[in-house]
Amino acid sequence: MKDTATEPLLGRSVERIEDAALVSGRGQFIDDLPVATGTLAVAFVRAPHGHADIKSVDVTAATRAPGVAAVITGQDVTRYIRSMTVGVKANVECWPIAVDRVRYVGEPVAMVVATDRYLAEDAADLVEVDYSPLTAVVDPVRALADDAPVLHQSLGSNLINERRFRYGDPETAFDAAPHRIGIDVTYPRSACTPIETYGVIARYEPGEDAYDITANFQGPFSIHAVVARSLQVPGNRLRLRTPPDSGGSFGIKQGVFPYMILSGVAARIAGAPVKWIEDRLEHLSASVSATNRQTRIEAAVEADGRITALDWDQIEDCGAHLRAPEPATLYRMHGNMTGAYDIANVAIRNRVVLTNKTPTGLNRGFGGPQIYFALERLMDTIARQLGLDRLDVIRRNLVPADAFPYRTATGALLDSGDYAAAMARAVDEGGLAELYARRDTARAEGRRYGIGFACVVEPSVSNMGYITTVLSSEERAKAGPKNGAQATATVAIDPLGSVTVKVASVPQGQGHRTVLAQVVADKFGLPLDAVRVLADVDTMRDAWSIASGNYASRFAPAVAGATEIAATRLRDKLAKVAASQLNIGASDVTFDAGRIGAAQNPDNSLSFARVAATAHWSPGTLPDDVGQTLRETVFWTPPELEAPTADDGINSSLCHGFIFDFCGIEIDPDTAEPRIDRYVTMHDCGRILHPAMVDGQVRGGFAQAVGAAFLEEYAYGEDGSFRSGTLADYLLPTVMEVPEPVILHHETPSPFTPLGAKGVGEGNCMSTPVCIANAVADALAPEGDAPNIVLPVTAAKLAPLIHGEEPEPKEPVPETKAEATSGGRKLTGEGRALVQASREDVWKMLLDPATLDAIIPGSHGVQKVDETRFKADVTLGVGPVRGRYKADIELSDLDPPNAVTLSGQAVGALGTGGGHGRVTLTDTGDGTEITYRYEAEIGGKVASVGGRLLDGAAKVVIGEFFRALARHCGGGAGNGPIARLRGLLNRIAKGGRT
Amino acid sequence: MKPAPFDYVAATDLSEALDALQEGGSDARVIAGGQSLVPMLNMRLARPATLVDITRIPELSRIEAKGDQIIIGAAVRQATLESWPDLADRLPLVRAAISWVGHTQLRNRGTVCGSVAHADPSAELPLCLLALGGTVTLRRRRKTRTVAARDFFQGMMSTDLAPGEMITSVSIPARKQGTGYAFREVARRHGDFAIVACAAIARPDGSSTLTVGGVADTPQTLDLPADTTGRDDRLNEFAWHLQARDDLHATARYRRDLVRRLGRTTLKEALSCRD
Amino acid sequence: MPRLTKDEKPAVRFTLNGRAVSPEAPPRMLLSDLLRHEIGATGTHVGCEHGVCGACTVQVDGAPVRACLMLAQQAQGCDIRTVEALAEGPELSPLQAAFREHFALQCGFCTAGILMTLDALFASQPEADEATIREALSGHLCRCTGYAPIVQAALAARNRIKGGPIDA
């Protein structure tokens, strides 16, 4: 028996069978699917605070709004569900909606179900939530401090899990080594941000107590168990389906599952099917992101750069709740903590911390970017400190080619590779010598040009048991072993003898259907379009298991592999059927060009369809040992994926690709903008099934990594406010920012997968950010101590490093205080107004509610609570941006008629504001000069979407008040910052101080 | 992300629009291209009671050259100005700047006057209007007035526009002989709001003007004499006195760096391209 | 005065892909929602609703614009084309075919908008050079492809449309 005689489809870049529909607007994404008549829309009320207790939720007005079917609070939801499962042993609850406290901006607080999304949002605006704000903590190191605010009282602290690991003998290795070299690394938050947001369609059948949920979920389907448990139904009463098309995920759409629960409950309470399509503001503030991590990594190093031990100390920030499958980001790489290097001794301390940020989840690269940023920055530092060539340090430490399969210190079994050979080819074919020459030329001309390297092992096909490494071996023993990665595939034949493939791989654009058609068409000697493939899932009809789904780059190695096995089984049976009909031996049967025939005699053949359909039409004619040829379903789990060992060794993934990257980066001398001059990426992903798709994965991952390296950051203020709520703030790279990388391949097939393929989807998200950082470091400081590079590398961060100390102004500059953190800070400002009234009169006005009501722009009424406290209802804003706020104002430090401190808190639909200001009155002879300084914090929606403009807006609003006061007092020239600025500028124009 | 409800008036002539604005007072807003306003509506940051659509008023859709002034009606789209055949000759600064305004898909709807009315401190067209000494013509039901750009822009997204009033046109002085114009900008990505945008105008006598957007609440201008002695010091003083701030995208320090460096480059370019 | 109050739902009359349509829309309805949910033309996708991502780009009177930044009522009297109009029957247009040949899409969610921008570009500038193509594409976010294959497909389509060599 032999395979198809014509050129195989597998390994060729055939056109994708998905594309004709997608380029014609006939995709079937979740929001495109038809829904039942009467399906209602869901909108969420979300937390404006990073941390606050919920005192009350008043839904009265919202419930009465037009079109509203139900308004559902967190308390309501708890009557129908139980807390979601948490992946570590900890006394903590994890609800999909805030119950009595909000812990991140954007956390769901209430759901409105109405006839359409417009009306649902109208009603959501009417839900009144009374919060009692709490101090927030957003920095994971700060969250560990004794005096840090605690998010979950039941935990007692923000440290939800800590584990220490020891492999080999790291202490002795460190003692023996001549050098101990370490760095601290801060890895920020970013997310792969698919262009399609989350979507859920849910219905509930009370007669069967069953939920039917369609969501653009991506897996893993272990989450099905989490959702069913939370909804308090057996697994067979949660039917979970996915739409045929999904608009990108990159891990992110795993995080839709809390909304599957909430939508199910909403449908149940509303008594009608519901649909929720997440909007972009919701997505950016409250879907999921990758973890941010603080790492200390140290190496024991020989004089020649050989590393004998690593010591990791990682603080992982999982946000406000530890949602399944976290802390998987930390443990997915646990077998790979030595990267591509042969290092026998490793110590690890892992701490998982909760902060007032969005809960984290799957994200392309999943733990890899955080690990490799630390490890490869360390390699760069070692070369610098020892005065060695960077490539030599890498080469001396690589796992040798003859060592595969190679067991890493922490337990991974590296399946195959020849790292040194792949690296040598990259250096040669990628033109490193030329790049060095370009750097030399640039430096000779005084330009800043750097070259960076990164060396990465890319794991794929996750062991479903790796997450249990977070448990102690005693805890694991009690819970029972977890391991494996079931892949499923069904190949079926219909009565007309055509072939259908069904897999539970849930693609989000990776072209799974095309590759599986290639695999199966080759096997049966059929043309590509003779095979039909479905890759979406219906858990009530399809073969699936907890590992199903599209994550951990498992498609080519696992799903395509399982399909290969299923097709082979079916083919072998068909060969027997054909052999009996053709009167030849089964081993002489060939499958070619739509016919099944005798290898030796082409005229002795039957059409594939005829043989294939035999089991439908005349099952009695089948040879006895064939059984049926209708359908073959394969469940495949690789034996190499064992549960963690008693001493915490874990083969966290089945396959291990290899990547070696290098790049040249130049920094513009004037604008400090970094630019990639050339980027070379060498991949060994085993056998390549579809070259164009593999390159597509590389380019796509590279582009996302370029975004993470230069542009993207989920930024939070110290107060927990979220500052990157729009795509004008969270910056995804466009065609202008992404250069085309040079892609090279070196193929060493995996011995552990049916087709020899390994995953390739995530590698550049692991290698590229640190490769870029190393190049930037080289551009900034070719020798000596490495600068601390924190992503994203922006021109604003580089400017002080390349421009040096800033020239001071000759003319004194009005004080501009700014506490710059990553995007979040207090707004501060000051201003003056001249009024034609005495200090005493102004003083009286400031304390008189009637006057305040008259002069506060947009005031709808000021009430006096007592001598020093007022309540106001005001419309505030700039330009078209206006929102109505309820404000509490308090006067303190009264020094009549000279000075007073005003403090206030305001809450409205657009968010929250709080601050205090000192107002001073000075007699000018013909009136009073009012000066004021303020410090304010703004949170909620307006802070999330208007970050760029907040300072100026605060200034306008506060300035308006004093201008109105001046007008009320009978004119007087406003002497605001702008007028003053003009005066100063005129003086500069005339030549400086004179 | 759906707008709150509002009434909508598709005005077909100016008096209809002015009546609707008068009636609506401060709760009414003009919508033309809507490229700044509709995102705010969708996010419910803006909740006007009435929107007055002026794009169907024929008289507002014209670009006219009157003497040395180029008059651009309130409904003229940015893309229309971009493809106006005389743009390079009459308004070389605008020509250099306009491709920096968002993206082509936004310029196809967005209007020149809408950008001026929105008064974003980083926007390119208000910067050009101010740099070139343009004026804004404002109408209300029984009153027309013309305001110099430097008086029109009062603060971040704050202008001299009163309730009931609308911009009917802006007027921009055309290119003068022997004068050089240059525009440069740094943004996080292509098409983003400027971190710093510089417009330079160099006159025949060698004196020049630098106008900077993206730093202060409104674009700011620095006049420089022909004598370049001490120019870097002047730029430094200017940079400091703009009171730059930190935000998500850049630090105050970086903005000052750009004013000093990009400012110098832009001035040089303007001086060298005088015809 | 032609005032529509907020609760009115008058018909908007316009041409969609060559056919006269008159769906009803209240003043606040966005064009993107009208196309997708009232008419059922779901080929146009919505990714951000604030004009940045470009997924919802459609052609209005021949020019690519964001459907999420246009009120449905503003479409009155306009000629609107969406991705559904590109193919002639089962035959893909040269632009669509080039996208398939060059693997210029993966998930396909952003693709409709990109196609409408490029289709308009090549209609007005058949000779558009790579810089012009990139400039036009910069108004679109794609999270899957890394853009290089999109540029390749656009160049190939341009060449084919103007009758030149097929490959860029």
Q: Which residues of B touch A814 (CB under 8 A)?
A: 243
**Count of structural domains within chain B:** 3
Complete DSSP assignment for A137-196: ---HHHHTSTTSPPS-GGGSSSEEEEEEEEES-HHHHHHH-SEEEEEEEEE-------SS
Tell me how close the Cα of A919 comes to any Cα of chain B, in angstroms: 21
Distance, CA of C162 to CA of C121 (rounded, Å): 13
In this prediction, residue A988 carries a pLDDT of 57
Distance, CA of B98 to CA of B115 (rounded, Å): 11
Distance, CA of A18 to CA of A12 (rounded, Å): 16
Q: Say if B45 is an interface residue toward chain C (CB within 8 Å).
A: no
Q: Are A663 and A772 in contact (CB under 8 A)?
A: yes
Facing residue for B240 by CB, picked from A672, A813, A883: A813
B2, part of any domain = no
Q: Are A135 and A330 in contact (CB under 8 A)?
A: no
Q: Are A616 and A630 in contact (CB under 8 A)?
A: yes
Q: Say if B147 is an interface residue toward chain A (CB within 8 Å).
A: no
In this prediction, residue B215 carries a pLDDT of 95
Q: Say if B121 is an interface residue toward chain A (CB within 8 Å).
A: yes
Distance, CA of A684 to CA of B97 (rounded, Å): 46
Calculate the alpha carbon distances from A185 to A291, A297, A374, A813, A983 in Å.
14, 8, 6, 36, 46
**C142 with A195: Cβ contact below 8 A:** yes
Question: Among the three residues B116, B142, B173, which one is the final residue of a domain in this structure?
Answer: B173
**C4 with B7: Cβ contact below 8 A:** yes
B237, part of any domain = yes
CB pairs under 8 A between B and C: 109
In whole angstroms, how large is the CA radius of gyration of chain A? 32
User: B30 with B75, same domain?
Assistant: no
Strand locations in chain B (E): 7-10, 28-31, 50-53, 63-66, 69-73, 135-140, 143-148, 153-155, 158-159, 166-173, 180-187, 194-202, 208-213, 220-224
Which of A24, A249, A694 should we substitute to test contact with C (largest number of C Cβ atoms within 10 Å)? A24
Q: Are A839 and A848 in contact (CB under 8 A)?
A: no
Q: What is the set of domains in chain C, with CATH numbers?
A: 14-83 (3.10.20.30), 94-161 (1.10.150.120)
B71, part of any domain = yes
Residue A292's contacts (CB-CB under 8 Å, 6 or more residues apart) are A140, A186, A187, A188, A189, A317, A357
User: B168 with B92, same domain?
Assistant: yes
What pTM does this model have? 0.96
CA dihedral B260, B261, B267, B269 (to 10 degrees): 180
Distance, CA of C160 to CA of C168 (rounded, Å): 9
**A248 with C106: Cβ contact below 8 A:** yes
Distance, CA of A498 to CA of A461 (rounded, Å): 31
Facing residue for C143 by CB, picked from A193, A246, A279: A193
**A23 with C105: Cβ contact below 8 A:** yes
Facing residue for A700 by CB, picked from C86, C101, C106: C106
Say which CATH number the domain at B231 has: 3.30.390.50
Pairing of strands B208-213, B194-202: antiparallel
Helices (H), chain C: 31-33, 94-101, 111-124, 130-137, 148-161
Residue located via tokens 């032999």: A2
* Maximum Cα interatomic distance, chain A, rounded to a whole number of Å: 119
pLDDT greater than 60 at residue C167: no
Tell me how close the Cα of C2 comes to any Cα of chain B, in angstroms: 6
Which of B15, B27, B38 should we substitute to test contact with C (largest number of C Cβ atoms within 10 Å)? B38
Give the residue from chain B lying closest to A669, CA to CA.
Answer: B261
Counts for chain C of helices (H) and strands (E), in that order: 5, 6
Give the residue from chain B lying closest to A879, CA to CA.
Answer: B157
Q: What share of chain B is helix, strand, coil (3-state, %, to 5)?
A: 35, 30, 40
User: B92 with B121, same domain?
Assistant: yes
Facing residue for B191 by CB, picked from C63, C65, C139: C139
Which of B243, B253, B265 should we substitute to test contact with A (largest number of A Cβ atoms within 10 Å)? B243
Q: Which residues of A touch C45 (CB under 8 A)?
A: 29, 31, 195-196, 247
Say which CATH number the domain at B33 has: 3.30.43.10
Distance, CA of B98 to CA of B127 (rounded, Å): 11
Task: Identify the bridge partners of residue A242 per DSSP, sorted by sequence position.
Answer: none
**C106 with A511: Cβ contact below 8 A:** yes
- Angle made by CA atoms A907, A909, A915, in degrees to the nearest 5: 30
Which of B47, A836, A489, B228 is closest to C28 using CA atoms?
B47
Q: Are A195 and C44 in contact (CB under 8 A)?
A: no
User: Phi and psi of A174, rounded to 5°?
Assistant: -65, -40
State the helix-helix crossing angle for A257-270 and A222-231, rounded to 10 degrees: 30
Question: A814 preceded by cis ω (within 30°)?
Answer: no
Q: Say if A803 is an interface residue toward chain B (CB within 8 Å).
A: yes
User: B77 with B168, same domain?
Assistant: yes
User: B216 with B164, same domain?
Assistant: no
Tell me how close the Cα of B233 comes to any Cα of chain A, in angstroms: 8
Residue C151's contacts (CB-CB under 8 Å, 6 or more residues apart) are A735, C130, C133, C134, C137
Give the residue from chain B lying closest to A993, CA to CA.
Answer: B237
- A412's enclosing H/E stretch is none
B212, part of any domain = yes
**B45 with A946: Cβ contact below 8 A:** yes
In this prediction, residue A974 carries a pLDDT of 45
Q: What is the set of domains in chain A, with CATH numbers?
A: 35-134+192-286 (3.90.1170.50), 154-190+289-468+642-799 (3.30.365.10), 486-536+544-636 (3.30.365.10), 827-989 (3.30.530.20)
State the helix-helix crossing angle for A950-968 and A839-847, rounded to 10 degrees: 120
Distance, CA of A526 to CA of A4 (rounded, Å): 9
User: B44 with B118, same domain?
Assistant: no
Chain C interface residues facing chain B, Cβ-Cβ under 8 Å?
1-7, 26-28, 30, 33, 49-51, 54, 57, 60, 63-66, 68-71, 73-74, 76, 117, 135-136, 138-139
Q: Which of residues 184-213 of B touch A (CB under 8 A)?
A: 186, 188-193, 195
B58, part of any domain = no
User: B86 with B137, same domain?
Assistant: yes
Count of Cβ atoms closer than 10 Å to residue A240 Cβ: 23
Q: Which domain holds residue B193?
A: 180-272
B31, part of any domain = yes
Tell me how close the Cα of C99 comes to any Cα of chain A, in angstroms: 8
**A13 with C103: Cβ contact below 8 A:** yes
Q: Which residues of B touch C74 (CB under 8 A)?
A: 34, 53, 55
User: B104 with B142, same domain?
Assistant: yes
Give the residue from chain A lying closest to C133, CA to CA.
Answer: A735
- Positive or negative, the Cα torsion across A946, A947, A949, A954? positive
Question: A325 preceded by cis ω (within 30°)?
Answer: yes
Q: Which of residues 868-887 of A touch B (CB under 8 A)?
A: 877-883
Which tokens hold the place of A528?
């590509």
Count of Cβ atoms closer than 10 Å to residue A323 Cβ: 25
Phi-psi map region of A673: left, alpha, beta (phi>0 left; psi -120 to 50 alpha): beta
Q: Which of residues 31-70 of C touch A (CB under 8 A)?
A: 36, 41-50, 52-53, 55
Name the burial class of residue C77, with classes exposed (0-12), middle (13-18) and buried (19+) by CB atoms within 10 angstroms of its CB. Answer: exposed
User: B213 with B112, same domain?
Assistant: no
Question: A133 preceded by cis ω (within 30°)?
Answer: no
**B240 with A811: Cβ contact below 8 A:** yes
Tell me how close the Cα of C102 comes to any Cα of chain A, in angstroms: 8
Distance, CA of C111 to CA of A556 (rounded, Å): 25
User: B234 with B165, same domain?
Assistant: no
Distance, CA of B214 to CA of B185 (rounded, Å): 10
In whole angstroms, how large is the CA radius of gyration of chain C? 17
Which tokens hold the place of C21?
């349509």
Sheet with A292-301: strands ordered across: A159-167, A345-353, A307-317, A292-301, A179-187
Task: Identify the bridge partners of residue A458 per DSSP, sorted by sequence position.
Answer: A657
Residue C82's identity, in one-letter code, is: T
Question: A897 preceded by cis ω (within 30°)?
Answer: yes
Q: Are A615 and A630 in contact (CB under 8 A)?
A: yes
Give the residue from chain C lying closest to B13, CA to CA.
Answer: C1
Which of C3, C124, C137 should we substitute to test contact with B (largest number of B Cβ atoms within 10 Å)? C3
In this prediction, residue A991 carries a pLDDT of 45
Q: Are A196 and C47 in contact (CB under 8 A)?
A: yes
Say which CATH number the domain at B143 has: 3.30.465.10
B1, part of any domain = no
Which tokens hold the place of C18?
């060559």
Q: Which residues of A touch C105 (CB under 8 A)?
A: 19, 22-23, 509
Question: Among the three residues B128, B158, B173, which one is the final residue of a domain in this structure?
Answer: B173
Distance, CA of A552 to CA of A557 (rounded, Å): 10
Which tokens hold the place of A247?
């608009």
**A820 with B48: Cβ contact below 8 A:** no
Q: Which residues of A touch B237 (CB under 8 A)?
A: 809-811, 988, 992
User: B37 with B77, same domain?
Assistant: no
Q: Which residues of B touch C114 (CB under 8 A)?
A: none
pLDDT greater than 50 at residue C168: no
Q: Which of residues 20-79 of B touch A (CB under 8 A)?
A: 29, 37, 40, 43-48
Question: Among the three residues B143, B173, B203, which one is the final residue of a domain in this structure?
Answer: B173
State the helix-helix crossing angle for A432-444 and A419-429, rounded to 10 degrees: 50
Series of mean pLDDT values for 10-residue runs along chain A (994 residues):
67 98 98 97 97 98 98 98 95 97 98 98 96 96 98 98 98 98 98 98 98 98 98 98 98 98 98 98 96 98 98 98 97 98 98 98 98 98 97 98 98 98 98 98 98 98 96 93 96 97 96 98 97 98 96 96 98 96 95 95 94 95 93 97 96 98 98 98 98 98 98 94 94 98 98 98 98 98 93 97 94 57 59 87 86 82 89 86 87 92 85 86 90 84 80 79 78 48 53 38
